[in-house]
Chains A and B, each alone.
Chain A
Amino acid sequence: MGVARLLKTTALALLLAQPALAEGKKAEVLHWWTSAGEAAAIKVFADAYNAAGGEWVDNGVGGDDTAKNLLASRIAGGNPPQVGQFNTSREYEEFVAAGLLEPLDAVSGPGNWDGLVPSIFQGLVKRDGHYYAVPVNIHGSNWLWYNMAAFETAGATPPTDWDSFFAAAEKLKAAGIIPLAQGGEAWQERITFYSVMLSVGGRDFYLKFIQDKDEATVRSDKMKEVIAVYTKLRDLVRETDAASPGRSWNEATQMVVTGKAGMQIMGDWAKGEFTAANMEAGKDYGCVPAVTAGGPYQVSGDVFVFPKTGNAADLEAQMLMAQTMIDAKVQVDFNLKKGSVPVRPDVDVAAFDTCSQQALQITANNDLIVGSTDMYATADLTGALQDVYTTYWNSTEMTADELVEKIVEAMKAAG
């Protein structure tokens, strides 16, 4: 790896040229958790790290794409922070392959990570027997959130499958409530698409689709069912909510919070908005994991990586950070704030609310969960597919058959 060696020597040269900065275990953390709820969550890490004798230097950059891009260019440019954030996905595999990230053997071995880290994450944080990233949470991307007061006003019952979903939508509509609050950004339309696919098609169908890129699966009748439900949702939103295009996810959640809308399909980060509005899970708002109960639960998460800096003091700080982030108590405190659930199974979960309790039960069973698409496919392909879904969601002319053809084309091109 010529490039890697060049980068490493550059990094080393830069370090030698500067006086050693790290006295106490100083660690700059580049992350994108800047909203109120997120900032409260990462503060748990910061406080725990400082208490453990480190010095946390916060570098929060708004927007995950911006932060990831900054991290990538700083690693490539030989001036990395000690700690950086990615999603639990394949997006940092090139950095591992290029030897730019620190292996965490010193912490993972004694900490028995093989027994702690969920098996669905193993392939993404571990390579050739070494861990290169600390997973810190398990999020679920496909949840249905609903406002209980709105349901009561409309006389609707919480849905259990798509038929009862659309029946509830009709009642909400009749009561003058927007049935489904949909944020009109491409990635939200993607989340909706996979939520439908998982509940209609099931686990094997999804894996065949995104992991095997199986053309027969894309052309199957099951796929037509998926598209039919997706189309019905689209038409519902179009009919009841003209202001949807361009809306952000938290604005959409706010509509459910205030009762202006009845339901939203969104990941469990939406919970932070309900909590911030002093609403209680199971009393003021309801949650259904996997949108239609019993379906496969789509997990995602965040990891922190530790770029090589060539400095022994940095390495010490980095190992302390890895140790802190996966600590049992820190995991509980952090995930309570973040709305996700801990990555390790051996923690005290009594403090979690009813939604998280359901998530904890589901994530303990490997047959009930699947990973988010970027765990199985490149950013290139998931992005190309997202283009196709959003085009269909917003188009008035594109047919279901054309959607199938475009998915096949995207898979062939970006494979």
Chain B
Amino acid sequence: MRLSSRITSRLVVSPFVVVAIFTFVLCVLWSAQLSFTSSKIFPAYDYVGFKQYTRLFANERWILSFQNMLIFGICLISGALVIGFLLAVMIDQSVKWESFWRTVFLYPNALSFVVTGLAWQWLLNPSLGLPELVRHLGWTDFKLNLLGEQKTALYAVSIAAVWQASGLVMALCLAGLRGIDGEIWKATRIDGVPRWKTYLHIVIPMLGPIFFTAIVLLSLSVVKGFDLVVAMTNGGPGTATEVPAKFVIDHIQIRANVGLAMAGATVMLISVVAALAPWVYVQKRRKEARG
């Protein structure tokens, strides 16, 4: 009886396993395989060794895209963590209309990156958006063109991303804060420790796993980041806000160079694995520790 139910359950699961293996494992392997060929529009199987990778890392746009991804990642992760945590702390002070604020702060996260990108593009437009508002308020020679300058455009994109992602970090941190034992607060109060010190030295270390989860989630959205950039700047001005995912898509769709695109995709995959590895490692250690 027991054996047959186990077989049934395996039978039920098996189609999904097949689909998963086919779509994830095989397709990933196939992409990696194509990166060693000179494929243009159609897959070709003339192996050219590491030629596409040599070209990839000699390509300034790719290098720039990768640098942009790192800068964007640092800005987004640090910005979202700080703002998200502060919002959570604020809401945790038993404010009035708590659920209202929670919804407001979490709401941007429900929007797609395309909507966020377009909205912020309008907000930052030098002749329509916030700069125009400031001029109307009296500072008539106020000038701000974050999206139009190569040096600042990437930070403008980061601001929009932080706006969107902070709500998620807030929700995670709030869950963590609510999980902290009330006794700890009582104990620190009796000892006369100031609240901010309690947050800094006791609460933040206790929220470690939460921060870790947030960092992993945010890093993934950084690596696959595409839609926000396309909606906000389309990689411009010039190539100032290019990102790796856009490089890959452009080379598949417009430039008919699947080989080079797959080399880029493979490097992205490796960076995702590198971002996930510490998390997987920590999880495993924890499981072992629990026995």
Interface flags, B65-109, vs A, CB<8A=1, else 0? 000000000000000000000000000000000000000000000
Q: How many Å from the CB of A359 to the closest CB on chain B? A: 28
Stretch at the interface among B12-20, B21-29, B54-62, B281-289: B54-62
Q: How many Å from the CB of A85 to the closest CB on chain B? A: 15
Q: How far is the CA of A364 from the CA of B256 in the complex (A)?
A: 33
Q: How far is the CA of A326 from the CA of B145 in the complex (A)?
A: 49
Known: A3-B42, A243-B148. A393 touches B58 (CB 8 A): no
Contact B125 A243 (CB under 8 A): yes
Residues of chain A contacted by B58 (CB below 8 angstroms):
409, 413
Q: Is B234 interfacial (CB-CB < 8 Å)?
A: yes
Across the interface, B236 reaches (CB within 8 A) one of A185, A392, A406, namely: A185
Residues of chain A contacted by B137 (CB below 8 angstroms):
none
Known: A72-B41, A94-B40, A246-B147. A394 touches B250 (CB 8 A): no
Across the interface, A390 reaches (CB within 8 A) one of B148, B238, B254, B257, namely: B238
Q: How many Å from the CB of B266 to the closest CB on chain A? A: 18
Known: A242-B126, A413-B55. A383 touches B250 (CB 8 A): yes
Q: Is B237 interfacial (CB-CB < 8 Å)?
A: yes
Contact A380 B239 (CB under 8 A): no
Contact A395 B43 (CB under 8 A): no
Residues of chain A contacted by B59 (CB below 8 angstroms):
384, 413
Q: Is B235 interfacial (CB-CB < 8 Å)?
A: yes
Contact B61 A3 (CB under 8 A): no
Q: How far is the CA of A94 from the CA of B42 in the complex (A)?
A: 8
Across the interface, A94 reaches (CB within 8 A) one of B41, B60, B150, B260, namely: B41
Q: How far is the CA of A286 from the CA of B61 in the complex (A)?
A: 38
Residues of chain A contacted by B260 (CB below 8 angstroms):
380
Residues of chain A contacted by B42 (CB below 8 angstroms):
3, 76, 94, 98
Known: A380-B256, A413-B58, A413-B59. A243 touches B236 (CB 8 A): no
Contact A246 B234 (CB under 8 A): yes
How many residues in A have their beta carbons less than 8 Å from beta carbons of B? Answer: 34
How many A-B pairs have beta carbons closer than 8 Å: the answer is 92
Q: How far is the CA of A158 from the CA of B60 in the complex (A)?
A: 40
Known: A72-B41, A94-B41, A413-B59. A245 touches B254 (CB 8 A): no
Residues of chain A contacted by B148 (CB below 8 angstroms):
184, 242-246
Residues of chain B contacted by A65 (CB below 8 angstroms):
253-254
Residues of chain A contacted by B240 (CB below 8 angstroms):
394
Q: Is B127 interfacial (CB-CB < 8 Å)?
A: yes
Residues of chain A contacted by B253 (CB below 8 angstroms):
65, 68-69
Q: Which of B135-156 contact A (CB under 8 A)?
A: 143, 145, 147-148, 150
Contact B236 A186 (CB under 8 A): yes
Residues of chain B contacted by A3 (CB below 8 angstroms):
42-43
Interface flags, A61-73, vs B, CB<8A=1, else 0? 0000100110010
Residues of chain A contacted by B233 (CB below 8 angstroms):
246
Q: How far is the CA of A12 from the CA of B72 in the complex (A)?
A: 48
Q: How far is the CA of A3 from the CA of B42 in the complex (A)?
A: 8
Across the interface, A406 reaches (CB within 8 A) one of B60, B126, B143, B255, namely: B60
Contact B234 A185 (CB under 8 A): yes
Residues of chain A contacted by B235 (CB below 8 angstroms):
186
Residues of chain B contacted by A76 (CB below 8 angstroms):
41-42
Residues of B participating in the A interface, judged by any CB pair closer than 8 Å: 40-43, 55, 58-61, 121, 125-127, 143, 145, 147-148, 150, 233-240, 250-251, 253-257, 260
List the 3 closest pairs (A to B, CB-CB), nearest first.
A394-B238, A245-B237, A394-B237
